[in-house]
Amino acid sequence: MLNEELNHIINDYDQFKQRINEQKQNPFNLSLIEQINRWEISSIEKIQQKAKDYREYIIKSSQPFINDVEMKFKDLREQIRQIHQENEFNEINLNYFRNQLMDITKELNNSTNLSIQQDSQSFINEISIISSKKSKLNKWKQNAITVAAGNGKGPELNQLNNPNGLSVNGKKNIFIADFWNHRIVEWKYNAKKGQIIAGGNGKGNRMDQLNNPTDVIIDQQNHSIIISDQGNRRVIQWFNQNQQILIENIHCYGLAMDKNGFLYVSDWNKNEVRRCKIGENNKGIIVAGGNGKGDKLNQLNNPTFIFIDEDQSVYVSDKDNHRVMKWTKDAKEGRIVAGGNGNGRNLNQLSAPRGVIVDHSNQIYVVDCENDRVMRWCEGKEEGEIVIGGNGKGDQSNQLNCPRGLSFDDEGNLYVVDWGNYRIEKFEITL
């Protein structure tokens, strides 16, 4: 009996092994591939039919006009033939014929009042791949470690004064936009005090001064930092002690850089986000907002921090609309991916959001400033979840006070600018 049972198991094993080999040779889910193929064929057929209809319409609409021009041309030709036959003409006649011919030619060149208008709303149904397999969601210790300052408000090297934005490099060194101290401070890993790497020479608009910096990012390619010098309405690049203005006359707030080296800047006054190439000395192009202040999908209201993903989609903390917007590349309008249900503290609401980051699993992390917490949202979900804070405003290790900037290090530890407590908090990831 045992031998017989063993033979059954061996037989099942052989069959399963054969299935694995078949999957190796053809690993794709044929049913899903077939659905995608059908969608592709159907979409192409729709486009081809639309193009065919419009070509026929243009040809049909243009024909009467061309016939009219042809009649005028024939009439002019008959006049020329007649005067040439009679051999009685002068310079006035020639000028008249020349002008008539020019008019007819011009009319033919402008042969139609038709034009092409492109609509951003697609008539092709979009598809997307949805996995039912849930990705593992990270968690963090709820009691933070203070890794920078925490010694009260002040200008000393172990203090900060309402810090705003921050960046963390591969060595876990923290770069902080120290707003009211008008400086950028680097706090090395495990250091007891920071060091000034930009500004720190009083409030001003000289090249060695800053005025209420709001954000700072690290430009690894050029071994420099880029600063949103809000009070001076400029974006400035610092190489050690050398400075260069990248953009002037802009109400800058948040900064981001994509994998191609394009710089993105939010303008809180014009309610837009711009993309520009470093070194071209211009304001670039609008990639989000730019349609005035408002709460429509193509508008923003006081945008602050921004994030750019691998596809050059722009995520914007739309502060006074209490939402986070996502603008895909070349889109005419954005879509709400967090908040958007008014100002409040429910799980489907935000209150004056600030720092925003999207991880590799497309989970959106946003600083819910006036609710003193950090939220995680999955695009398409109606509610977010609290990952940090939410324990009331305070200065305990599990509390925040009007947090602003947000960053991760390479290990996934979470850093939060605790604005009202004049400190940087590190929440360690739990594995």
pLDDT per position as a tens digit, 312-332: 999 999 999 999 999 999 999
Task: Please give the single-letter amino acid code of residue 355.
Answer: G
**305 in a structural domain:** yes
Q: Based on the domain organization, do 91 and 145 belong to the same domain?
A: no
286-305 mean pLDDT: 97
Residues 93 and 153 in one domain: no
Which strands, in side-by-side order, build the sheet including 423-427?
145-149, 423-427, 414-418, 406-408
- The reply to whether 236 falls in a domain is yes
- Name residue 126's amino acid: E
Return the structure tokens found at 406: 């947000």
- The answer on 293 and 150 residing in a single domain is yes
In angstroms, the Cα distances linking 6 to 1, 11, 18 are 9, 9, 18
How large is the average pLDDT for residues 295-304?
A: 97
Q: Distance between CA 22 and CA 175 in Å, rounded? A: 53
Per the listing, tokens 């936009």 go with 177
Q: Which of 101, 126, 155 is the last residue of a domain?
A: 101
Same-domain pairing of 171 and 82: no
**70-121 pLDDT, tens per residue?**
887 888 788 888 877 777 777 777 787 788 888 778 777 765 566 776 665 5
Provide the domain limits for residue 48: 31-101
| pLDDT > 60? residue 130 | no
Q: How far apart are CA 308 and CA 242, in angstroms?
A: 27
203 and 352 housed in the same domain: yes
Residues 217-230 have pLDDT tens digits of 999 888 899 999 99
234 and 284 housed in the same domain: yes
pLDDT band of 43, cuts 50, 70, 90: confident
Per-residue confidence (pLDDT) for residue 86, from 0 to 100: 76
Is 132 inside a domain boundary?
no
pLDDT of 121 reads 56
Among 41-45, 255-259, 383-387, 416-420, name the one with the lowest average pLDDT: 41-45
* 126 part of a folded domain: no
Domain-ending residue, one of 101, 124, 147: 101
What is the residue-averaged pLDDT of the chain? 89
Name the more confident of 26 and 366: 366
Q: Are 184 and 164 contacting, i.e. CB atoms less than 8 angstroms apart?
A: no
* Residue range 170-184: mean pLDDT, rounded: 96
Q: Tell me the range of 49-53, 66-70, 116-120, 153-157 where mean pLDDT is highest.
A: 153-157
The reported pLDDT for the residue numbered 28 is 55
Residue 352 resides in a domain: yes
What pLDDT, on the 0 to 100 scale, is given for residue 137? Answer: 84
Residue 10's pLDDT band (boundaries 50, 70, 90)? confident
User: How many separate domains does the chain show?
Assistant: 2
Q: Are 416 and 144 in contact (CB under 8 A)?
A: yes
Per-residue pLDDT at 431: 67
Residue 311 in tokens = 């596809």
Structural contact between residues 421 and 150, judged by C-beta atoms closer than 8 angstroms: yes
Whether the CB-CB separation of 417 and 424 falls below 8 Å is answered with yes
How many CB atoms are closer than 10 A to CB 335?
Answer: 13
134, pLDDT greater than 70: no
Residue 390 inside a domain? The answer is yes
pLDDT at 265: 97
Predicted pLDDT at 128: 61
Inside any domain, residue 134: no
Residues 73 and 160 in one domain: no
pLDDT digits (tens, 9 = 90+) for 73-86: 888 788 888 877 77
Domain end (from 52, 71, 101): 101
- Same domain as 161, residue 38: no
* pLDDT for residue 16: 81
Q: What is the pTM of this model?
A: 0.72
Closest CA to 354 of 421, 304, 400: 304
Q: Tens digit of pLDDT for each residue in 247-275? A: 999 999 999 999 888 999 999 999 999 99
Q: Are residues 63 and 144 in the same domain?
A: no
